[in-house]
Amino acid sequence: MANTYDFYKPQLSSEYPEVDGPVSVVTYIAALDAAYSTFKEKYARYAKRVGTKVDFSLEDVDYAIFHSPYGKQAIKGHARMLFNDFLSAPTASCFAQIPNAEVFLNITHSDSLLDKNVEKTFINAGKSSFAEKVDPAMACSRRLGNTYTASLYGCLASLLSNVEPSTLKGKRFSLFAFGSGCAASFFTARVKGDTTEIKEKLDLVNRLAQMKVVPPQEFLDALHASLVSLLSQTLYINHHLISFVRRIIMHLTTSLRAQLIIFGPVPTILKVSTQNTEGNMYAPLTVHKILFCLSTWIFVSMPHIDFYPSLKICMNLV
């Protein structure tokens, strides 16, 4: 785990995050390095106890699954695993064709995260391995795009759907889970039984093929409908807020009558004033006093509504 600001939501009133693409890619790779090296260390300790091969590598799994916000990220993740294996065993036969191997052995970790030559070299070196070990698990990522946390398990579903149960039985696969912010884990699993029923019930290949592809305008129309729904909710809240402000003013003033003056068809600008029975105007309630009452009411009466958007509405009203 690490504190990073590659993908986060500083504005709780917005449904959209702040994203730094280049930083997110580096964060992903650095997290894979840390999680994979930790796994290899733990595996080595276990292997010594049971007397098996100590050095774990990509060669020890039949398939490799990655958090895949998009296809290229899985390609980079697989290449990074190869790079880590290369650093652990540079003389292994599978790395005999790596050009300028000494350069990669002498590069610092921080520099390797940004070095495009490292990335390209090991992507090229791992093409056949990627096709064999990773590609069978990429169906969901290619068809659905970024599903965030679900992407890793979409890859698992893809593997179970694309590989015949008879072939998959007994096979071992690795999984790399990642979340911006950031946290990551690396673990392995083995298929012990028959996966036929899972494959049939998922019916993933057919379901992905039957997905309806629509033009971008339909997405924009759906987004517009969502905004209209949000406006309706805002108007509903405003209606209750106006009613509540009237009641608060009645409680806070003696022998005073609340008068709400609303400008425009939508109650987004609201002025609150008070007058006595003779019609003499009194000073308006302070904004702080109204906001305190409104925020208390929002928390107590409408806990399902996010506080910050509601407070924003209050600020607009007063």
Check if the beta carbon of residue 131 is closer than 8 Å to that of residue 138: no
166 with 243, same domain: the answer is no
14 with 133, same domain: the answer is yes
200 with 239, same domain: the answer is no
The closest of 200, 209, 203, 81 to 142, measured between CA atoms, is 209
Strand partners, 173: 63, 189
Q: What is the pLDDT of residue 280?
A: 41
Q: What is the CATH number of the domain that holds 93?
A: 3.40.47.10
146 with 74, same domain: the answer is yes
Check if the beta carbon of residue 92 is closer than 8 Å to that of residue 85: yes
For residues 76-99, one letter each, b for 16 or more C-beta atoms within 10 angstroms of the residue's C-beta and e for the rest, the string is: bbbbbbbbbbbbeeeeeebbeebe
Q: 148, 178, 209: which is the final residue of a domain?
A: 209
Model's pTM, two decimal places?
0.70
183 with 231, same domain: the answer is no
Q: 183, 209, 235: which is the final residue of a domain?
A: 209
26 with 91, same domain: the answer is yes
Asked if residue 202 belongs to a domain, the reply is yes
158 with 12, same domain: the answer is yes
Asked if residue 1 belongs to a domain, the reply is no
- Contacts for 89 with CB less than 8 Å, ≥ 6 apart: 55, 57, 95
Helices (DSSP H) in the chain: which residue ranges? 21-50, 71-88, 101-106, 109-114, 116-125, 127-133, 139-144, 150-162, 165-168, 196-202, 204-209, 216-252, 287-301, 307-317
Q: 187, 209, 231: which is the final residue of a domain?
A: 209
Q: Which residue has the tokens 């010594």?
A: 48
Helix axes of 116-125 and 71-88: crossing angle, nearest 10 degrees = 90
Asked if residue 2 belongs to a domain, the reply is no
162 with 245, same domain: the answer is no
Q: What is the pLDDT of residue 310?
A: 42
Tokens of 145: 């795009």
- Three-state SS for 273? strand
175 with 231, same domain: the answer is no
194 with 308, same domain: the answer is no
- Three-state SS for 177? strand
β 7-8/256-262 pair status: unpaired
Question: Which residue range is the domain that position 198 belongs to?
Answer: 7-209
184 with 248, same domain: the answer is no
Report d(CA 244, CA 121) in Å as an integer.
66
Helix axes of 71-88 and 21-50: crossing angle, nearest 10 degrees = 40
Q: How far is CA 247 from CA 22, 98, 313, in A?
A: 53, 77, 18
Asked if residue 96 belongs to a domain, the reply is yes
Each residue's pLDDT expressed in tens, for the chain with a length of 318 residues: 999 999 888 888 777 788 888 999 999 999 999 999 999 999 999 999 998 888 999 999 999 999 999 889 999 999 999 999 999 999 999 999 999 999 999 999 999 999 999 999 999 999 999 999 999 999 999 998 888 889 999 999 999 999 999 999 999 999 999 999 999 999 999 999 999 999 999 999 999 999 988 888 888 888 777 766 665 555 555 555 555 555 555 544 433 333 333 333 333 333 333 344 444 443 444 444 455 555 554 444 444 444 444 444 434 443
Q: What is the pLDDT of residue 229?
A: 65
The closest of 21, 12, 130 to 65, measured between CA atoms, is 130
Asked if residue 199 belongs to a domain, the reply is yes
Count the domains in the chain. 2
185 with 239, same domain: the answer is no
